[in-house]
Amino acid sequence: MAYSNHVISNSDVAFGTSGARGLVVDFTPDVCAAFTHAFLAVAQESFEFKKIAIAIDNRPSSYKMAQACAAAALNAGIQPVFYGVVPTPALAHQSMSLGIPAIMVTGSHIPFDRNGLKFYRPDGEITKADEQAILSSDIAFEALSTLPELTISNDAKLAYIERNKVFANANLKGKRIGIYEHSSAGRDIYRELFTDLGAEVITLGRSEQFVPIDTEAVSDEDKARAREWVNRYKLDILFSTDGDGDRPLLAGEDGEWLRGDVLGILCAKALGIQALSVPVSCNSAIEQCGYFDEVERTRIGSPYVIDAFAELKSRFNRVAGFEANGGFLLGSDIEFQGKMVKALPTRDALLPVLAVLNVASKGIVPLLQQLPNRFTASDRIKDFATERSKAILSQAVLAPDEFMSKLGFTSVIIESVNTVDGFRITLENGDIVHLRPSGNAPELRCYAESDSVQSAQTLVADTLTKLQNLT
């Protein structure tokens, strides 16, 4: 007999900003079972259900992890329903529609030697309080001896496609849309949906090897690839996502990938959103554009964005949120062009792209030209121990002037320091530098904002170079 809290605490698997994450070798069948038993026990305190929805991304380790989760559910008297490889928002949509919990096996954008579990209650993503309850649950369970073969249901895929057909619009008819498929969990769904909506679809870059696309730190190779594809195929847009399809990448007619928070602004405006909840790392153009009645800034991570929805919904009818990575969270039911769009308070890659295409009759670039000239950039140092990141940032908080001097900012005036999530400093000239440890991997992330793309990129590059030499 094993106990969930003991197995989890000895596993080196921990909750990050988006679910439990760790090395694949640490996600043994019993670790997956421990998380499943603990999650089900926590969910059963507030909900009644007899089934659980399970889906996976295209990582080589994901199917076996799903088998372990399904086996544990069966042992707990809960029937697993396996939806195969689908985007995380498709699973969340199905789960909430049926009123049952869900587990998505995905590591999102992190390297393929890592993976994760993302949990949904029947009413949406688990909260940070739920995470702590899962970790502290003391559930006894039998170690797994066999893993069941899983039969795929296509219901989640079909329901997700149907949900997004509400965005059918004449602007999509005849458009040349490129889909950078790589190993995205939604690659087959996207091709089918855009074709159904009347676009001419060109699929590109499909890979049978897992590709860890990070929408906040797009590689130079993928930037060059986007420009080349848009030019070669005369594309109106190029669309892609991260590994589990909850964070979008969109390039317009110029072949340049949009920053995720810029796409979020355009989407929220297209949907007529009144109030927004966004992480502190997002572009300040959100406030400066004047499109929204209220903007609430939170810690980084979808649970924090979602937590702010309840208060905003008490005062506004049309509430949403998005993150710097582009994932858009619809916090309230809204009417869009005479059709009802149900709330889906989890990151979604399709919604922002389809909403923006509805108002982009003259292309994406003209929409961007209407926004304030505030530009962001981000990157990270890989294989940078979280303990080292925290030690560096502790020094920064205690002595910000001295810390900035070490980074080469010797003749600047600090206007403000924000420690809501990491160390975010605003300089008198309007430049912003924001440092924080990744919640999903041993990485130190740097975000910067300035009045030009080049200046923002230089801030990130120079800062990370100096950080690597700090002890």
The residues annotated with a catalytic role in the active site are 108
Distance, CA of 86 to CA of 84 (rounded, Å): 6
CA distance readout (Å), 321 to 271, 312, 370: 12, 11, 21
CB 178 within 8 A of CB 230: yes
Q: What are φ and ψ of residue 255, in 5° steps?
A: 80, 10
Per-residue burial over 452-466, b = 16 or more CB atoms within 10 Å of its CB, e = otherwise: eeeebbebbebbbee
Distance, CA of 453 to CA of 434 (rounded, Å): 16
Q: Could you tell me the maximum CA-CA distance found in the chain, to the nearest angstrom?
A: 65
Gyration radius of the chain's alpha carbons = 22
DSSP 8-state class, residue 203? E
Per-residue burial over 19-50, b = 16 or more CB atoms within 10 Å of its CB, e = otherwise: bbbbbbeebbbbbbbbbbbbbbbbbeeeeebe
Task: Name, in order, each residue with C-beta under 8 angstroms of 295's C-beta and a sequence gap of 6 or more.
Answer: 275, 276, 277, 278, 286, 287
CB 87 within 8 A of CB 185: yes
Encoded amino acid at 464, one letter: L
Numbers of helices and strands, H then E, in the chain:
17, 25
Encoded amino acid at 171, one letter: N
CB 280 within 8 A of CB 424: yes
